[in-house]
Structure 1
Amino acid sequence: MQLVELFQEENCQITFASTAAFSEKTENLQAQNISVKSILLNDASFDDFIKELNPEIVIFDRYITEEQFGWRVSENCPHALKILDTEDLHFLRKAREEAIKNGKPISEANLFSEIAKRELACILRCDLSLIISEYEMELLQNTFKISSELLYYLPFLVEKISKKTPSFEERQNFLAIGNLLHAPNVDSVLQLKALWPEIKKQLPEAELHIYGAYAPQQILQLNNKKEGFILKGWAEHVEAVMKNYRVQLAPLRFGAGLKGKFLDAMHFGLPSVTTKIGAEGMCGNLPFGGAVTTSKEEFIETSLKLYSEEDTWNIAQQNGFKILEKRFQKKLFSEAFKKHISTLLANLEKHRQGNFIGQILQYHTLQSTKYLSKWIAEKNK
């Protein structure tokens, strides 16, 4: 939505094309003057649609979308600027998840996987890839030798920072929040189930409220009012929820990108307790808006301290506001990004000549993916 806003500010006409089904939680894009188009996988109807639309810029939401539609865009709109919005590096998240499952430290995660080959090929085929985390920028350039010309750091953007939020005394209970279709969040809730009894023992009046849509059965069965471990379901308005709680808990063991839950928490004056993975890419050289822990014992101890000590809590809240001001203010990024896109549009051919490996991958992908997709389309008939 922030990307949409940036392009709308440049008076771009935006068409949002998706294979996803609409639901009651779907954003009302038409109300924001955005055309919405349903598209099909492995279907030539997309060719006619994209040829008629003839866009100047095409943004792919995650690498899987580029794999499916990138070759069709290149074939029908060869002069369109192709941008990959990585969201986060999927191969990094998956490698860390596999390491945890196998009882290994994430420092031993195997990054050189099949998913890495696919995702990096997408980055090379596109004219520009948007990277949300500084850690991932460094990883791509240093470990995988991806040219900086193909990457652009664009984190979450915050427009207004209001420091008028409920005080320490006006808040109570612990919060955990996150989409429960997302494996790192499911694992985090399972970790909390094990950590919570010790926190509850020290703070018998406190409760832990867990918000998140699409909870699987293994999470639903953890709901226990007597233990103060309570599942609340989908949070319709994150601001209304976060302003009620005193501390956010997120013992994330794997993941990638930036975690929106921490940005939101800092925005609404809510300190968080997390791990190095959780805080990755968030604070640079600044102190985190809460606590970054390295063991279960430290997680429990810091959670108790933040919940009980008003001075410690106030410092954590102020640290969060500072991070937003110094690292995520929209004005720090928006104009430079728009200028970069304009420069690329004006010099696209030259830019592509500098990425000849990408052209080679594009050529081979056009051949292989194209004919696999055509075969599936024929089979579907």
Structure 2
Amino acid sequence: MSPTATTKVLIIGYVWPEPRSSAAGGHMMQILQCFLDQGWELTFSSPANPGEHKEDLVALGIRECPIELNNASFDRFVAELAPDIVLFDQFMMEEQFGWRVEQHCPNALRVLETSDLQCLRHARHQRLKDHLKHASAEDDFSPLFAQAQQDEFQHMAETDLAKREIAAIYRCDLSLMISEVEIELLVEQFRLPPTLLHWCPLMLERLPEGFAPFEQRAHFLSIGNFRHAPNWDAVLWMKNRVWPLIRQQLPGAQLHLYGAYTPPKAAALHNPAQGFHIMNWAEDALQVMSAARICLAPLRFGAGIKGKLLDAMLCGTPSVTTPIGSESMTVPDLPWPGAVEESATALAAAAVRLYQDQAQWSDAQAAGSQLLAARYRQQVHGPALIQRLQHCRQHLAQERRDNFTGSMLRHHHHKSTQYMAQWIEAKNRP
């Protein structure tokens, strides 16, 4: 390749990016911006229908190309495009299109953007369901939040989802991991080679300057895509346990819950008399976050890192969450910008204290700025990502020889997937 040639990148998205609807969409846009800053030529494709809040990629100089599942038209498309790098957004896209990319662009670097480790999230969800069958009304969920890595592994290793997702990581040349906890779990328990993984958290181009002060803020706020199971579970826990405890101590308190794609079951929870307001989608999430005094994120399960909590720090809004919410978002010796608790009673008590105590609130706001500066700067993580991709491209043959397990999995999986896809395509012909 000529040193002056433009690097061509194909992104195969599970969905079209919606950065104002989910942290995953925001992270994808941050990665795309890193590529654009290099002057790379980007093409974004997805078999999904565009969502209501889809980002205008064309306006950013990114080509948009819809694609179809189980259709040879993708073969012609990818062969003609001849990308240098192919980024699969979530492992299902690697399952569907990985064999086609390998067949027609064998020298393209194959990268997986995991968003979060889905098999971890699903295993934690199942543990919560099992736990709730025997939980009392006062249960504090400490057993769930204190799971050792070995226990996490045992719950995950039995699932088909883990086998599928981790096989996709092996088949790719590099996987982007948003959480250091997940990297440690994959390396220490699943024995994945660290060379297959790259830590790429949420990235901020600029740190915030100046916030609305304590006295100009009011109300509690919770935000998150209602389609995301951890968010919906948090809404129900707030409605049934956490929020009634807060209202007992602050009878006039108001909670505003914002989320994309509000289903009827969420709208039915709207109850102004209880101060529980379902607000639907926020046109500007940072604006409503900046006006709130406290962000509530009582997550009982999940994976990755939480965009809503990063947004809270960006807006100088202290947050009250669980160990799941703060997981892989902290730095040793720096306090959490708010409170991390394990029970409904403790969450409510911490939220009330922060809401009323201006000095404690101001300390939490300052802690958020410190955490952002220490952990989420694009000037650090963007160049590190580009450097890692370039290194992998330069040593691709050796990297693939070293990853024999991935080569073996590609051989067996891609053959079976190819024949199944071709059978479906033939079956669908008129």
CA contact (8 A) 1:207 1:228 kept: yes
CA contact (8 A) 1:30 1:36 kept: yes
CA contact (8 A) 2:111 2:176 kept: yes
Q: What is the distance in 1 between the residues matched to 2:278 and 2:59?
A: 33
CA contact (8 A) 1:190 1:219 kept: no
1:355 aligns with 2:403: yes
What is the RMSD computed on CA atoms of the aligned residues? Answer: 1.1
Q: Equivalent residues in 2 for 1:278-357 (5 A)?
A: 278-285=325-332, 286-357=334-405
Q: Equivalent residues in 2 for 1:4-23 (5 A)?
A: 4-23=32-51
Normalised to the residue count of structure 2, the TM-score between the two structures is 0.87
Q: What is the distance in 2 between the residues matched to 1:343 and 1:185?
A: 37
Q: Equivalent residues in 2 for 1:265-284 (5 A)?
A: 265-284=312-331
CA contact (8 A) 1:19 1:39 kept: yes
- Tell me the amino acid that sits aligned with residue 318 of structure 1: A
Normalised to the residue count of structure 1, the TM-score between the two structures is 0.98
Name the structure 2 match of 1:126. 172
Name the structure 1 match of 2:15. none
Which of 249, 252, 260 aligns to 1:205? It is 252
Q: Equivalent residues in 2 for 1:27-176 (5 A)?
A: 27-103=55-131, 105-106=143-144, 107=147, 110-112=155-157, 113-176=159-222
Name the structure 2 match of 1:264. 311
- Tell me the amino acid that sits aligned with residue 246 of structure 1: R
The alpha carbon displacement at 1:334 in A equals 1.7
Unaligned 5+ segments in structure 2 are 1-28, 133-142
- Give CA deviations for 1:255-305 in whole Å, capped at 9, x if unaligned: 000000000110110111000001000013121111100111111110100
Name the structure 1 match of 2:286. 239
CA contact (8 A) 1:163 1:321 kept: no
Name the structure 1 match of 2:7. none
Q: What is the distance in 1 between the residues matched to 2:71 and 2:339?
A: 49
Q: Equivalent residues in 2 for 1:211-230 (5 A)?
A: 211-230=258-277
- Give CA deviations for 1:303-350 in whole Å, capped at 9, x if unaligned: 100100001101111111111000111112222221111111111111
Name the structure 2 match of 1:255. 302
CA contact (8 A) 2:331 2:374 kept: no
Moved over 2 A (4+): 104-109, 215-218
Name the structure 1 match of 2:3. none
Local SS of the residue matching 1:226? helix
- Tell me the amino acid that sits aligned with residue 375 of structure 1: W
The alpha carbon displacement at 1:35 in A equals 0.4
Local SS of the residue matching 1:117? helix
Local SS of the residue matching 2:70? coil
- Tell me the amino acid that sits aligned with residue 9 of structure 1: D
Q: What is the distance in 2 between the residues matched to 1:132 and 1:175?
A: 25
Unaligned 5+ segments in structure 1 are none
Q: What is the distance in 2 between the residues matched to 1:114 and 1:132?
A: 22
Say how many residue pairs are matched: 381
CA contact (8 A) 2:223 2:308 kept: yes
CA contact (8 A) 2:262 2:281 kept: no
- Tell me the amino acid that sits aligned with residue 27 of structure 1: E
